[in-house]
Amino acid sequence: MTRPSVPLGDLMKRAGFLLPRSVLLRLRGARDLGLGLWYRGRGRWCPVCGWSSRRFRPGGTVARQDAKCPRCGALERHRFIWLYLAQRTDLFDGRPKRVLHVAPEQCFERRLKDRLGAGYLTADLRDPHVMERMDITGIRYPDESFDVIYCSHVLEHVPDDRRAMREFHRVLKPSGWAILLVPITLDRTFEDPTIVRPADRLRVFGQKDHVRRYGPDYVDRLQNAGFKVQVTRVSDMIAADEAARMGISRTGAIYHCTKA
């Protein structure tokens, strides 16, 4: 069976900044239901939306096979992050929390808003659909404002990522925690601020709007910003057969930051 072509998805991506939020959500809902039904089956299960499918859709900036949940759009890392949030944090314990979600992923945003209520804040530098425009290198909130900060695959776009990390540390409450994730694609972090042309950034950093590639020494940057970092790998949490059923790469890791 061949994959259905979904011109609606491409159209929505381009028009997403122009359409009213309510229209966009309705279109997305119809698309996701249709894709979910098309892919319905038994081989894969998504822990974010609970949908079973015969396989996942191709997904990712450089498309990977069997990557994206057809029902909610969650990629491999999203499925692991959701399990981690549910099983290893107090995020869903029902107690009120002030939660900052930077550059919210579509597959998480509505679910988190529904579960976290009034304390949930989405923020982004450019996306007009978030609750608040925010430059994470200059967060306009007082010290110790948030119980939880979640920011995934953003810092690799930020020229002064160390400053953003210090800002996250500043606005996090002493008892709070932050999940700050980046793609780890090298043995050691590499950046070169003289590389600015999109084509050069694509060639060197893997994406035209990335400004560096991170290595495992990413942890050192977080620690230098004042965080205590606990790294949890997929293999620490999920058996191999379960990870395969959920389409989660065994090499993924969560960087859980608290105030040292």
Parallel/antiparallel/unpaired status of strands 120-124 and 99-102: parallel
What is the closest distance, in whole angstroms, from the C-beta atom of residue 192 to Zn ion in the complex? 37
What is the closest distance, in whole angstroms, from the C-beta atom of residue 175 to Zn ion in the complex? 31
Instruction: Tell me whether residue 53 or residue 189 sits nearer to Zn ion (CB atom).
Output: 53
Instruction: Tell me whether residue 71 or residue 77 sits nearer to Zn ion (CB atom).
Output: 71
The H or E element that residue 44 is part of is: strand 40-45
What is the closest distance, in whole angstroms, from the C-beta atom of residue 22 to Zn ion in the complex? 22
What is the closest distance, in whole angstroms, from the C-beta atom of residue 107 to Zn ion in the complex? 6
What is the closest distance, in whole angstroms, from the C-beta atom of residue 133 to Zn ion in the complex? 29
Instruction: Tell me whether residue 79 or residue 210 sits nearer to Zn ion (CB atom).
Output: 79
Instruction: Tell me whether residue 57 or residue 212 sits nearer to Zn ion (CB atom).
Output: 57
Instruction: Tell me whether residue 45 or residue 141 sits nearer to Zn ion (CB atom).
Output: 45
Q: Sort 132 into a burial class: Cβ within 10 Å, 0-12 / 13-18 / 19+.
A: exposed
- Percent of the chain as helix, strand, coil, to the nearest 5: 35, 25, 40
Instruction: Tell me whether residue 249 or residue 258 sits nearer to Zn ion (CB atom).
Output: 249
What is the closest distance, in whole angstroms, from the C-beta atom of residue 23 to Zn ion in the complex? 22
d(CA 151, CA 157): 12
Q: How many CB atoms lie within 10 A of CB 7?
A: 8
Q: How many CA atoms lie within 13 A of 158 on its CB side?
A: 24
d(CA 55, CA 217): 34
* Residues near Zn ion (CB under 5 A): 46, 48-49, 51, 69, 71-72, 74
Q: Sort 185 into a burial class: Cβ within 10 Å, 0-12 / 13-18 / 19+.
A: middle
Return the structure tokens found at 83.
């399990």
